[in-house]
Amino acid sequence: MISEKIEAMLEKVQKAPRYTGGEMNTAVKSWDEAELRFAFCFPDTYEVGMSHLGMKILYAAINAQPWSLCERVCMPWVDMMALMQEENVPLFSLESRHPINEFDVVGFTLQYEMSYTNVLAMLKMGNIPLRREDRREEDPIVVAGGPCAFNPEPLADFIDAFMVGDGEEQIVELNAVIRDARKDGLSRQELLKKLASVRGVYVPALYDVTYHEDGTIASFAPNCPEAPEKVLKAILTDLDSVIYPKEIPVPYTEIIHDRIMLEIMRGCTRGCRFCAAGMLYRPVRERSLEHLVELACSLEKSTGYEEISLSSLSSGDYTCLAELIRELLKRMQGKHVAISLPSLRLDSVLKESLEATQQERKTSLTFAPEAGTQRLRDVINKGITEADLMEKASDAFAGGWSSVKLYFMMGLPTETYEDLDGIADLARKVVGAYFAVPKGQRAKGLRVTCSASVFVPKPFTPFQWEPQDTLEEVQRKQLHLRDALRQVKGANFNYHESGLSFMEACFARGDRRMGQVLLRAFEKGCMLDGWNEHFKYDTWLEAFDECGVDPAFYAYRRREKDEILPWDFIDSGVTKEFLWREKQKADNAQTTKDCRQGCNGCGLQRFKGVCKFCG
C-alpha cells in the first residue's frame, strides 16, 4: 500500500530518482531472514548523502554480515515532504520502502552541525518519538556517529547511543549487542547499558551533568557502573584488513561527487590548529598500493564511472602517490578514466603527479593557503609559505590548467585586516603566475576563485578555547575582502552566510542545554538549515530567546584552561594538555613540526602500536 502511494507521488516531485531506489549495486537482502535491520539515515538530500564515502563503507560493512541488513534513508526535499504528509506516508528506506520505525536500529551520520534539525525531522516523519526518554520498548534504538559525534551533547536528548571513532568494526559489534539483547529479551535500559561496553560508544542516559551559576559545567559523571568515565574512540590500525566496498550504488541522477572515491589514507600529521578532522582522525594509516589498485579496478568495472578521486585529508602526503597514479593510469589506459587529486598540500611533491593526472582530462585544482600572511599561517600551523603557493600555481598553469580554487578562512585567532589584504595580494600573484606563462602555451579561460569561510572554533582542536568573531565583525571583514578582491582582475570571491557560521559555532561547542533550543527551533519550522534558502536566522534567535539561552555564551566566549568542556569525557586519542600547548604556541605564532619528522607527543603514544610516528 505504501509502495503504491510512493509511486503516485514520484510523478509529482522535482527529482523522482531521489526516492526510487533500485540503483545498480544496491544490496537488497531478505527482510524476513535478517536478524537485525539497520536504517542508515543521512540527514541531508539524496545528492549529498550518495556522495558520502562513509555511508558506502558502512553500508557494505553491515550488509556483509549474513545476519544483518542495511538500507539507506535520505532527507526528502520540501516537495516530497509535503506529499508524504498529505498522503500520510512515513519516512521509508530506499531498498524495501519499509517505514524507518520498523527497523531495529536507526543510525544517523553527523557530518555537519546544521543538519541537526534534519535529524529531528526524519525521526518525526518516521513516527519515532523525538526525545529518547519518550521511546517505548518496541521503538528502534537510535544511534549516531561521524565527526560531530565527538561533541554529542547538543543531541544527547534525542540519540540513544553515539559511536565515536572509526566505524567499520564498531558498528558491527554494536549491532551484534543489540541483536543479542533483543534475543535475550532485555529491556531497553538494560540494552543501553550493554552498549556502553562497546569501545567508542557513549550512552547519554548513563551520565549526569550539573552547572555552575555562571553557566559553565560543574560536573559530568556516569550514573551507573556500566558506563566508563572516559569514552575512548574506536581506532582501526590496519585499513587493508577492514572492509572497503568493491561495488557501490550508482545513482540514476547526478549527485555532488559523481565519481569513485578511493580513500587512500586516513588521518593527517600536519597539525593545523583549526582543523578538527586533522586531530580526530589521527593516527595516519595508509592503504597499500596493491590493495588500492585492486579496489580501483573493481570499482571502475562495477560502476562505469569515468573519474577516480584519490581521497584523504591530504592526498599529497600519501607515501606512494606517484607510483599509485602511474599504476592506475596504466590499468585505466583506453578507458577514458580521469584521476583527480583533492585536498592538495602546497608543499607536497606534486609536479609529477599533476602531470600524470592531466593525461586524460584536466579537473580544477584546489589549494588551501587558509590565511593571507605568513604570520597568520604560522599561528594556525599551516606549514606552507607563499613560495610554495606560487611554485605550485606556476606548475599548474604551465601544465595546462586555467582553473584554480583557493580556500581561506576569515576570523582566525589574532587575525588583522592586514591578513585579509594578504588574501587579495596572494590572489593577485596567482593571476600573475598565469600570465607569466607564454600566451601560446597557457590554457584559455583563467579562473581563480577565492573562497573565505568563517572560522568556527571546534572541539578537540587547539582553538577550542577561542571565541568566534561577532556577526558584525565578520560582516565588516567580508565587505573589506570583497572590495579588495574586486581590484584583482581574474579573481572571483565566494563567502559564507555569517549567521549560519554563528549557529554552527553554538552547536560545535554546545552542551546539553542546546537540545532544548534545537527542539524549539525545529518546532518553529527550522530544517534544511544547511541550504541558504531554508535557513531561518531570525527564527533561530527566537528559539534561543524563548529557551532563555544566550547564543553568545557558546560562540563568542573565550574558555578558561581549567574549564570543564562539554566533550571532555571523550578521549579522542589527542590529549587536552597537548591541545593547550598548541594553543600557547599559536598565541606566539610558533609552529610545530609535522609528525612525520618526529613525535610531538599528542597523546597517541599512550597506545602501543597505534601510531607509526610515535617514538
Could you tell me the three cell numbers for 604? 597517541
Which tens digit of pLDDT belongs to each residue from 10-64? Answer: 999 999 999 999 999 999 999 999 999 999 999 999 999 999 999 999 999 999 9
500 occurs within a structural domain: no
pLDDT at 360: 46
Last residue of a domain, one of 232, 256, 277: 232
pLDDT at 356 over 60: no
Confidence of residue 349 (pLDDT cuts 50, 70, 90): very low
Would residue 379 count as lying in a domain? no
Query: Are 125 and 106 spatial neighbours (Cβ–Cβ below 8 Å)?
Result: no
Q: Distance (Å, rounded) from C-alpha 400 to C-alpha 257? A: 23
- The residue that leads in pLDDT, 409 or 445, is 409
Residue 587 pLDDT exceeds 90: yes
The DSSP symbol for 407 reads E
Q: What is the CATH number of the domain that holds 37?
A: 3.40.50.280
Residue 475 three-state SS? helix
Query: Which DSSP string do the residues of 341-379 spell out, in sequence order?
Result: --SB-TTS--HHHHHHHTTT----EEEEEESSSHHHHHH
CA–CA dist 56, 62 (Å, integer): 10
Tell me how far the alpha carbon of residue 498 is from its chain's centroid.
20
User: What's the confidence (pLDDT) of residue 316?
Assistant: 82
**pLDDT for 569:** 98
Asked whether the CA dihedral 450, 454, 458, 463 is positive or negative, the reply is positive
Last residue of a domain, one of 172, 198, 232: 232
What are the φ and ψ backbone dihedral angles of 287, each rounded to 5 degrees? -80, 145
Cβ neighbours for 570, distance < 8 A, ≥ 6 positions apart:
150, 151, 152, 164, 202, 230, 231, 233
In angstroms, how far is CA 356 from the centroid of its own chain?
29
Does residue 386 form part of some domain? no
Range of the domain at 601: 570-606
Average pLDDT, stretch 282-295?
A: 96
Does residue 393 belong to any structural domain of this protein? no
What is residue 42's three-state secondary structure? strand
* List of long-range contacts for 210-215, beta carbons under 8 Å, 24+ apart: 215/553
**Residue (of 49, 29, 169, 48) closest to 103 by Cα position:** 29
Q: Is the pLDDT of residue 358 over 90?
A: no
pLDDT of residue 400: 84
- Do 353 and 382 contact (CB within 8 A), yes or no? no
Q: Is residue 121 part of a domain?
A: yes
Residue 112's nearest CA partner among 48, 62, 167, 200 is 48
Angle 185-190-194 from CA coordinates, rounded to 5°: 105
The grid coordinates listed for 588 are 606566539
Q: Within a domain: residue 296?
A: no
Average of pLDDT values for 408-434? 96
Query: Is the full-model pTM beyond 0.85?
Result: yes
Of residues 222 and 364, more confidently modeled? 222
Final residue of a structural domain among 204, 232, 260: 232
- Kindly report the number of other CB atoms within 10 A of residue 439's CB atom: 7
Residue 248 inside a domain? The answer is no
End-to-end CA distance of the chain: 62
Closest CA to 243 of 295, 201, 282, 285: 295
How far apart are alpha carbons 45 and 556 in whole angstroms? Answer: 31
Three cell numbers, residue 100: 524507518
What confidence category does residue 442 fall into, taking pLDDT thresholds of 50, 70 and 90? confident
pLDDT tens digits for 225-258?
Answer: 999 999 999 999 999 999 999 999 999 999 998 9
Q: What SS3 state is found at 156?
A: coil
**What average pLDDT does the chain have?**
94
Q: What is the pLDDT of residue 343?
A: 55
- Residue 204 · residue 152 · CB < 8 Å: yes
Look at strands 447-454 and 491-495 and give their pairing: parallel
Q: How confident is the model at residue 443 (pLDDT cuts 50, 70, 90)?
A: confident
Task: State the total domains in the chain.
Answer: 2
Tell me: pLDDT of 458 over 60. yes
Residue 504 lies in a domain: no
Contact between 261 and 585 (Cβ < 8 Å): no
Cis check for the bond before 283: say yes or no (omega within 30 of 0).
yes
Give Cβ neighbours of residue 483 (< 8 Å, ≥ 6 apart): none
Q: Kindly give, in sequence order, each residue whose CB lies less than 8 Å from that of residue 231, ignoring residues fewer than 6 positions away.
A: 164, 200, 201, 202, 569, 570, 571
Alpha-carbon distances, residue 394 vs 339, 351, 435, 488, 532 (angstroms): 21, 10, 10, 18, 35
Give the span between the Cα atoms of 272 and 268, in whole angstroms: 9
